[in-house]
Structure 1
């Protein structure tokens, strides 16, 4: 007689990887042994240090957060919801759980027993690959039915070295280290581990490391009866301790652990066992950081088959960004990596939307990213600005062709919003018929903006002149770019008005060198770093690029670096502008990450004296570049 509950479980799990790779018979075999657990919100599935369960879990209903103590605070390092699996450690590791799994809402979990599951995967390579990648990369759904191929297309060369870049990052180590003396009894060490929910204790003498004991030591040397719990910990500790200085790279830490077959490293003041303890690195720390490896994220994006997967990957991109900022990785490299990951996300959404429409595009087209993404400067969660240009068609076919691309754009814009790119409040998105045009229509639009130039036209130009192709036929965007440079060449009236617009935000400092803050509204007394600092330098970079016919460079810092190359007599000035643009973007990014927003409005009271000084140095450069614009473009006549 069939088990109807098992049949229902099998019907559910077959919709999610890796179970979609099993036969119906094997699915039923697994489903018969599944346990069903109901948990209220904020209940633990397992906690740090808890012995491994005999099963891993799939979420039938609800949501689970994986949490870890970082700098004495419990931080969420991953989230899972319906259809996701977690708790894979029993498949790969022998040590206890190294992370907490907590329900974020009422949840129903399916527990899949290892004894039933393991024999069924030995001949299924696709399932094994999925499980290994899930555990190693901390990506819940890196698996797809697509063939394994190149991870990168020609546009993603910047990421070929990102594994190296990532592995050269300093490890984010745990600063709160629990220590004990060599005379401490083993039973008290176990109590300490249990109380703090940790897997190791450093044995120290006056905060100098002399040994380390892990939960593995307790299993091998105490539970087996070799040593008594009444003995001192000196009898089971590993000594000497493997020590490294602050700043040890991920790759160095990984190699050290593999070479010496250890799971923990001690961080000391000078990197030797003869100096004070300042932190500890565990194998799990490296695994968690590995989940935000750029190459892993890119692979996950290219294989993703749902908006939910891309949303989760987007969160990991933010974790990667936070790591880069925290470890002070140069902004130039950070921007390139985040741009490529964001760009790949948009591209993947477009690819999937075209498949969903189930009809190929009627003519060639290109999806254009505008504004900060077009300049490769979009790091935080900001509005989406995009447009479509498509091949010229006969008048009789125009609206039918446009309808196709508007349908595509509507789907793409909706999914971008779901992933984390907010809708543009000004509706500057491809789903707006005003921004879904043929090549000739776009040329006519740019002609209008540059010939009959008022305030609105200048604003539109400042947004649409910074575009980058994300998907489609590059010949269309190349033609459009050439047209822009053609109609702005020697167009002194337009360039002067564009220059006047670049001065619309006065110097960020007022009388007595005080920051100019918002006078009213929700952000009264806050400093608007976008309007008063970032946009003036961005506008200046665009103006110089147009007036000097600098092609194929949209990034603000790179525009100024090109100016330094073209005008070596003013090299120092232009390089200071490049530095300022990067410094301001990094400052906004840092504060946006800190407050979980777009970083636009800064609370001045929260700034350190050093931060204020750095900002004021940037503002000096802005004042200089604005004076330069006034002189070069005779702006007084247009203000």
Structure 2
């Protein structure tokens, strides 16, 4: 007799990813085990810190909000509606729920049992990739991009097998073993001496019979349930899960989730009846995926040399390529890459300080400027940085400054070695102009604001986007307070900054053709940075400074914050934020394709669809510049 309910579920699921990637019989098998949940409005599916369920959820009807606890109240993170999945990540990471799921309206959910799903998915490349991408991006649907579909058609970016693909997992050959008769005490001593967390129990033919882990000893021996002299066979976890040597990372992850295990035995033919040749653990998978952000972070913190940091910086580039290739949302990519870059800078400065003959004489702060200060640096570009040190007596000033100039020289040299090119305009902390005490910096910014000129406006466009990288945060806070105090009387400064923000008009000509470079080595190319991105960057900076918005330098976040402050212009600001992220992603893709900064675009190589989508990003530029003209009365400057 047909299961009509299961058939209806299957018919509905097959319209949406990742279920549309399943074979008909596999989808039917999953549908037969789906649980249907009805949630009244205001009812929770789960709450933050709840233990994970044995299923993830698919929204059939209605809408479910995902909320994160923020102090005394919950803030809305996302809304899942028809076709969306949620609650998957905790099942992959084996952790409690990190958010709450609350029905925003009467909803019908399908509960998809994780074991049934992974049992089918673990051998399907597309499904495995989907789950891993979902895990990596922390999104409910990695097919989506910023809730707006794909911004540009997908390019054939070369995939790196180390990331998100089904590369062969690296396992430990010749693992530590013991016999079934070995006393647990002896097995534990072996584990301690070898500094490992598990041991394989094998018979005389070296066939794996079971696994003993630290948790087995803790839960069975330390509790008194078994004696320390008990034979290994009595406390081992058995039977073992076995696989052949060609197992991939994706398959291993799915198997571990399905069976709730952390170790897989590798045998000659992949069955439990042949000789053990290796063991694969969760830890090994993390190491195999050496470009996993958490692994990279650990590598950065442990780095003992600049050479190691350079190698990690190259891996970040590989990670970026993989994220872009997998269509991971740009906001997520920016957070990860920016954090990794900041950690590399932080560690490079620590190593540089250690090279100095003496410790710093006073507190100091190393600040990033420009795109790095805005946390918009995805592709490696040149350095823009500065150094501010604590005020000292006049008699000690030159000696103190000489110390920090020497330190800054080491830092910029090391950053160059890591992959951050020297700034052609020498806007670096190693330049005496940009290595000063707090009082000098305050005075400098105050003069720029009080007596603006074309030169100081240019400097402001770089130095006003600063972010602490290393050192004393209080110095940077005091500098920020001083800047905003000076801005209280900065009407002329705002006007000149506004004029500067209008220097790049709409990137399209009268007949809606792209305005390209007319001469030089980049002739006939489109400069996406100066013609499309900078107008948005400049406008966001000017508007947030005039609103005295502190501690937000990122262009997209600036516009999103302005949308909250000015509801009447919210639609415009949101469109500017979206356009900027689209342009940044497009530039990043171009840079990856052409192995350069992605700044100059060869329009002839773009598809018609991409040219049209690129043009659509230009409309907010014209609109935001019209707003600037009115707000800062700039018509008399034009």
Report the TM-score when normalising by structure 2.
Answer: 0.59
SS at match of 1:387: strand
1:352-388 deviation digits (Å, cap 9, x = unpaired) = 1111114111011110011111111111110111001
How far apart are the structure 2 equivalents of 1:251 and 1:503? 52
SS at match of 1:614: helix
Aligned partners of 2:362 and 2:389 also within 8 Å:
yes
Aligned partners of 1:254 and 1:286 also within 8 Å:
no
How far apart are the structure 2 equivalents of 1:543 and 1:584? 20
Aligned partners of 2:370 and 2:384 also within 8 Å:
yes
Aligned partners of 2:159 and 2:321 also within 8 Å:
no
- Which residue is 1:92 aligned to? 173
Pair 77,423 (structure 1): closer, same or farther in 2 beyond 3 Å = farther
Task: Please report how far the alpha carbon of residue 74 of structure 1 lies from its aligned counterpart in structure 2 after TM superposition.
Answer: 9.8
SS at match of 1:367: strand
- Which residue is 2:602 aligned to? 603
- Which residue is 1:624 aligned to? 623
Pair 551,123 (structure 1): closer, same or farther in 2 beyond 3 Å = same
Aligned partners of 1:365 and 1:476 also within 8 Å:
yes
How far apart are the structure 2 equivalents of 1:286 and 1:606? 39
Pair 286,323 (structure 1): closer, same or farther in 2 beyond 3 Å = farther
How far apart are the structure 1 equivalents of 2:159 and 2:537? 39
How far apart are the structure 2 equivalents of 1:597 and 1:428? 21
Gaps of 5+ in 2: 1-155, 176-189, 198-242, 267-281
- Which residue is 1:99 aligned to? none
- Which residue is 2:420 aligned to? 421
Aligned partners of 2:316 and 2:337 also within 8 Å:
yes
Pair 394,497 (structure 1): closer, same or farther in 2 beyond 3 Å = same
How far apart are the structure 2 equivalents of 1:516 and 1:463? 25
- Which residue is 1:461 aligned to? 460
Task: Please report how far the alpha carbon of residue 262 of structure 1 lies from its aligned counterpart in structure 2 after TM superposition.
Answer: 9.9
- 1:237-386 correspondence to structure 2 within 5 Å: 252=254, 255=257, 290-386=289-385
- 1:205-604 correspondence to structure 2 within 5 Å: 252=254, 255=257, 290-604=289-603
Aligned partners of 1:527 and 1:604 also within 8 Å:
yes
1:28-85 deviation digits (Å, cap 9, x = unpaired) = xxxxxxxxxxxxxxxxxxxxxxxxxxxxxxxxxxxxxxxxxxx99896969xxxxxxx
Task: Please report how far the alpha carbon of residue 552 of structure 1 lies from its aligned counterpart in structure 2 after TM superposition.
Answer: 1.1
Pair 616,446 (structure 1): closer, same or farther in 2 beyond 3 Å = same
SS at match of 2:618: helix
Aligned partners of 1:534 and 1:581 also within 8 Å:
yes
Task: Please report how far the alpha carbon of residue 328 of structure 1 lies from its aligned counterpart in structure 2 after TM superposition.
Answer: 1.7
Aligned partners of 2:170 and 2:288 also within 8 Å:
no
Aligned partners of 1:490 and 1:547 also within 8 Å:
no
SS at match of 2:511: helix
How far apart are the structure 1 equivalents of 2:378 and 2:314? 12
Aligned partners of 2:157 and 2:325 also within 8 Å:
no
Pair 254,292 (structure 1): closer, same or farther in 2 beyond 3 Å = farther
Aligned partners of 2:286 and 2:292 also within 8 Å:
no
How far apart are the structure 2 equivalents of 1:371 and 1:393? 28
- Which residue is 2:100 aligned to? none
1:293-327 deviation digits (Å, cap 9, x = unpaired) = 11100000000001110000001111111121112
Report the TM-score when normalising by structure 1.
Answer: 0.59
How far apart are the structure 1 equivalents of 2:369 and 2:159? 38
May I ask how many residue pairs the two structures share in their alignment?
405
How far apart are the structure 1 equivalents of 2:546 and 2:462? 17
Query: Which range is displaced more, 608-617 or 510-519?
Result: 608-617
